[in-house]
Amino acid sequence: MQGLYGVIRNYAWGSQTDIAGLQGRETPADLPEAEEWLGAHHSAPSTLHDGRPLDDAIASAPADMLGRRVYERFGPRLPFLLKLLAAGKPLSLQAHPNLRQAQSGHQRELRIGIDSAYRNYVDDNHKPELLVALTEFRALCGFRDPLAAAEGIEALAVPELEGLVRTLRDPAAGLRRAVTDLLGLDRDECRAVIDAAAKAASELDGPSGLAAGDAADLVTLARDYPDDPGVLVSLLLNHITLQPGEGVYMPAGNLHAYLKGFGVEIMAASDNVLRGGLTNKRVDVPELLRVLDFEAIDEPRAAVEDSGPVRSWPVPIDDFALRRVELTGAPQTLAIDGPRICLSTGGSVTVADDEGETAFSPGRAAFSTGTSGALTAWGEGELFIASA
């Protein structure tokens, strides 16, 4: 096991305090720090303590670094990417492709430069993802039932939205038509509708079809993106608040946007993003509509399994698994095979494998190869372990 040093991504929506504060650096940071990437994706590979980029180290000895099971299943690459995600402002409204869509899209775009702003598919992998909250975390996650969405929108009593309400209540049209119509609005028309909707949301008093938190989200998004169709699309999504230790799993094709909070995120090793709004980055509505899954999600929160000090959030794919270990002094043996990334999020923790041990302070990470045996952890604190 050896230390692993991630790459900070300074996106505009990031926090200047969350990641820096966890790692004991001076706050506020000079720039917004949105994510720290811990993995081997070619866009921003982490660095091992011996100075080697993790992707190069895996390429040089894939069977040893990954272990036989993971190497045979996924080839010579780390199948997951772990992140610290710190949303100081809303992220873009987005979805990710499934494996077939990613492979065909990447093949179509091979003629486009890898760093081009016009490229959607920077790799050929799918990107399902799981986010676990470290602080209270507000998010838009998957489509809500269209009839419930219609009720909430109707509560705003905005004449310009009456057509949207009718569309949502029409079983022959439903979510697909509603989303397509909203994303097709021009900016001037959109600004007028958003202004009216936000004004109505701010004046809601007492119970209505639109929950108080949902109304507050609408007002916030309207302030930041006054002419963006994504603000209106947000009315069609589940609005949730995660408490620390709760997670949300977003399969490929599910529309979502993280609004505010700090968490640990794990995903299949991909950076393929199709955006629909709430961003200054490129928006590709036709491609987004092509990959979207328009099935409503009743409960986007991930199921939880607790086993003693270990909490996990089972997902229906084998690219990744995430465990949180609460350590209270006694050593814990963790029989997790394959390559592992350990990340401390609090306290003082030590982790050992067959190749040695690493002491962690909050925000620090280490990589354990797929051939270095079981992990043993001890100390007082919180540890996340990512694996395949």
Binding residue positions for Zn(2+): 94, 96, 129, 256
Per the listing, tokens 């202004």 go with 195
Helix or strand (DSSP H, E) at 180: helix 174-183
Q: Given the residues 77, 138, 144, 275, select the one marked as catalytic.
A: 275
Question: Is the separation of the CB atoms in 198 and 104 below 8 Å?
Answer: no
How far apart are the C-alpha atoms of 383 and 27, rounded to whole Å? Answer: 23
Helix or strand (DSSP H, E) at 167: helix 162-168
Instruction: Give me 123's structure tokens.
Output: 């790799």
DSSP class per residue in 14-65: BBSSHHHHHTT--SS-SS-B-EEEES--TTS--EETTS-BHHHHHHHSHHHH
Active site residue 301: no
Beta strands in the chain (DSSP E): 2-5, 7-9, 35-38, 47-48, 80-87, 93-95, 129-133, 137-143, 237-242, 247-250, 256-268, 274-277, 305-307, 310-312, 321-328, 332-334, 340-353, 356-360, 365-368, 375-387
How far apart are the C-alpha atoms of 276 and 284, rounded to whole Å? Answer: 7
Question: Is the separation of the CB atoms in 193 and 185 below 8 Å?
Answer: yes
How far apart are the C-alpha atoms of 354 and 375, rounded to whole Å? Answer: 8
How far apart are the C-alpha atoms of 26 and 19, rounded to whole Å? Answer: 10
Would you list which residues are annotated within the binding site? Answer: 94, 96, 129, 256
Question: Is the separation of the CB atoms in 131 and 258 below 8 Å?
Answer: yes
CB atoms within 10 A of CB 176: 14
Catalytic positions: 275
